[in-house]
Amino acid sequence: MTKIYYFLLFSLFCYSANAQNDIVIKGTVIDINTQLPLELATVYFTTVKDSTVIEYATTDKNGSFSIRTKKYDKPIFLKVNYMGYQPYFEEEKGLLESKDFGKLYLLQAANALDNVVIKSEAAPITIKKDTLEFNAASYKVRPDSNVENLLKQLPGFDVGTDGKITVNGREVNQVLVNGKTFFDKDGAIALKNLPAEIIKKIQVSDFKTKKEELSKQESTSDFSSINITIDEKKNKGYFGKILGGYGSDDRYESSLIMNFFNNKQKISVLASSNNINSTGFAQDEVFDNMGGGRNSKGSSGSSGSSGKGITQSNLIGLNYSDDWSEKLMAMGSYNFSNSINNNDSKSDQISFLPTGNISTSSDSKTRNENTGNNVNFELEYKIDPTTRLVIVPKVNQSRSNSNSTSSSFSEDENGDALNESNAKSYSESTNTSFGNTINFNKAFKKKARNFSVVFDNNNVKTDAEALNLSQTIFYQDAKPNDDRNQKSINNNTTDTYSLELEYTEPVTDSLRIRFGSDFDWNKEMKDMRTYDFDAASQSYSDLNQSLTNYTTSIQNSFSPKVGITWQKSKFTVNLNSRTALVEFDNHSLYLNNATDLNKKYALPYGDFQIRYKFSRSKNLTFKYDYSNALPSAVQLMPVLNLTNPLNTITGNPDLNPIEKNSANFSFRNYDFRTRSGYSLYVKGDYYNNDVVSTSIYDESGKRTTTYVNISGTYTTSIGGNWNQSIKRDAHVLRYGFGLNGSYSFDKGFTNAVLYNAKSTAITPKVNLTYEYGELLVISPTYSLSYNQTDYENSSRDATSNVVHRINLQTTSYWPANLIFGNDFGYTYNSSISSNFKKDFYLWNTSLSYGFFDKKVYAKIKVYDVLNQNLSATRTISATSIRDEENTVLKRYVMFSVSYKIGNFAGAEKGGKKRQRD
């Protein structure tokens, strides 16, 4: 480890020394007719010999550019590209000293219309209205790189260790391939498995809903969308990867992905099977599927793995997309999954009550199996140039079964026993759902005049059976013990339909007004029957009335709405308002008594958004939202739920709707010239009539729970991040800093006594990545999380905890064909129970060697080298502290072999440069 840090410091010293030999090229890009500066024009240098991009920059609002680069003593071209203008270029004998080119004049193209693209040599970066486009050939990556490696080279992009992508500070929530989904919306499979060498462009735009996309409305989202376009010359053929591995403790993994591309037709097949807690499909070139540890992706705020137990999983998937005709496009996918999870869990919990604390120790042993079949399809039909229809049906079926044994024991603070429980259970369930979305859009001759229809339905049916054998003993009063030997049968159905009609009329070129209505129908039925075991007939035939219930809930609403959009220069303002007229009818049959609860509401909704774009890469957004939400039928219906012997639940028919006020302010800025950027945000939520549960404990520790409204709670947060990327020859340095803070005011009940909780959290983090050519990558990160909560009218005054996380990833690609990777993490959590270590290490390592032109890789890897992985978590709330330990994946050693298959048009043998347009 020490050698690595010394090497990093030496490399940074060399980097600083080399920077002293840099030269600076300056200039200004001007429109020759208007004499006005052109912002975000792309200025770049290429070699005369093979058009390799040496360096590039974009102009600022004054049309100025500044490029810091190394001296170059061979002929080069200076080139300038800007949408709608004729390209500019001039030849230089070389770059030998700093130079100011003065004013560079661009001439508008004669046919520079809105929808006409003037073809020229692809610049590294191109601005097209609201789309930022990167030419993939301008960014150098290793010959065996995937799309994720390519994204890491693009200015403004950040790919986190959890796989989350941000562009210029804005999170990406959709990744498309040639405008279509690739297995899943987040594009994780595409990023990990599509080779970078077949990619032509990476396009970034604001994320739009299908309705916004079809009607060409402005995006109201705070997310970005990425579209990966494949080079037409390499869009025909097949490629893929097969992997298989086996290791100690019978650990194994296997996966396959094959892609068959034939121009617009694309078929992909994937499969995987493993017992190392990888429930999805993602292949990291260095670590494959080594996950499930306390430093794993998605790890929660407490120390502990993101999942519980050890999971064996199997997955098969098929993805298809094609243009069946000029008017009809289709895409779809099928996924089969099966997972089996085994877990042993132990926990200790202290519940804080005004009358005295209750300590509960419990343990359980569970086995859960889930099998799923998911089919998704999407059809887009262009009825005519102004009318489009999109249909998106989805069919899902899942089956599950579960075995568990559990026990618990509770005592008061004096050590006197309160209750004890032991249980065994087995359950089976089947869930079938059908969902469908239909988007219809009609555009009229007048610009921005539009009519849209959106119809949604979701129909879900769940059938479940369960056997329960349990005994609960009460020690402190004369309450009889609770002995159960029962079979329960639950049949639930939910049918939801919605229809949205909207017409948009342009009042002026800048102002549009929208009228419409939403219609929603929702019906839910729950039929729960419980049978006691009849010793005489040796069957479950005795209906238990106290655990049998039939409920229905019907919710219908009509919501007229109106909205306006005002867009002027760099301002965009959106204002929407609607009122939902709701009929909420609930019915329950319990203990032969019928209960009806019918309510009517008029619920207002409104949102306001203002966005100001200083430039394509700098914008400010403010959004305010007011909404209402109804309590659920379970929270409203005054019917007893006696399923849990230690907790009786009943609803409260006097609950009011939940009112929520939200405000969000954000500012983002990215400077392409310096490849640095930052973002800031402030947001808050304020609740009126929030719904919370409240429990009263009796002398034996048994709870009676209901629901009440609480007003005046809120949460606020503020944060920001800054990052920069610097490149000098073979040296690439990326570094960033983030700071997030939050404050919340909450209320609740402990044994019917109202308390207040004021919570503060601060989380700074820093990250750095250093790359030396194609030989070495070093990525250290550090984050600290500090949380403190102060209580009023509670048995506790305050709680606090600190979590430190340090991680160092190193990957070496030297000597040739050898890849050596290390992922080393250290975590300290002050709130961990004294029964467990508060700090621990998790170290994963792998060593692989490539054969046959790097098509075959043999690999050995070790998960949890130090064998320290444990699952010790502590959860702190206003009413309790809970320590829990679960089964986790332990150290294993695995040997694997992977084989890359590839044969597509325009492909070249590994190690050669990609062809450029």
Query: Mind listing the pLDDT tens digit for each residue in 579-627?
Result: 999 999 999 999 989 999 999 999 999 999 999 988 767 889 999 999 9
Round to whole Å and give the CA distance between 659 and 878.
Answer: 23
**Higher pLDDT pick, 285 / 37:** 37
* Listed range (73-87, 802-816, 896-910) with the worst mean pLDDT: 896-910
Q: What is the DSSP string of 389-447?
A: EEEEEEEEEEEEEEEEEEEEEEEETTS-EEEEEEEEEEEEEEEEEEEEEEEEEEE-SST
Mean pLDDT for 191-220 is 83
How much is the pLDDT for 907? 46
Contact 822, 810 (CB under 8 A): yes
337: tokens are: 């999954």
How much is the pLDDT for 287? 65
Parallel, antiparallel, or unpaired: how do β-strands 618-629 and 676-688 relate? unpaired
**Residues in contact with 866: Cβ distance below 8 Å, sequence separation at least 6, in sequence order:** 841, 842, 843, 891
How much is the pLDDT for 822? 94
pLDDT in tens, 786-801: 999 998 887 777 888 8
How much is the pLDDT for 355? 81
Give the mean pLDDT of the chain: 86
Parallel, antiparallel, or unpaired: how do β-strands 99-106 and 23-31 relate? parallel
How much is the pLDDT for 621? 93
pLDDT above 50: residue 114: no
Beta strands in 535-649 (DSSP E): 539-543, 549-568, 571-590, 593-615, 618-629, 641-644, 647-649
pLDDT in tens, 163-173: 788 887 788 88
pLDDT in tens, 841-851: 889 999 999 99
* Listed range (39-43, 108-112, 724-728) with the worst mean pLDDT: 108-112
**Higher pLDDT pick, 202 / 839:** 202
How much is the pLDDT for 917? 34
pLDDT above 50: residue 98: yes
pLDDT-above-70 percentage for the chain: 91
pLDDT-above-90 percentage for the chain: 53
pLDDT above 90: residue 913: no
In this structure, what DSSP letter does residue 481 have? Answer: P
pLDDT in tens, 306-330: 468 999 999 999 999 999 999 999 9
Which residues on neighbouring strands pair with residue 209, listed in sequence order?
Answer: none
How much is the pLDDT for 909? 42
Round to whole Å and give the CA distance between 517 and 710.
Answer: 32
Q: What is the pTM of this model?
A: 0.83
pLDDT above 70: residue 284: no
pLDDT above 60: residue 86: yes
Mean pLDDT for 84-106 is 89
**Residue 735 corresponds to which amino acid?**
Y
How much is the pLDDT for 542? 94
pLDDT above 90: residue 916: no
Rg (CA), the chain: 31
User: Residue 21 — very low, low, confident or very high, per pLDDT cuts 50/70/90?
Assistant: low
How much is the pLDDT for 22? 77
Mean pLDDT for 467-481 is 91
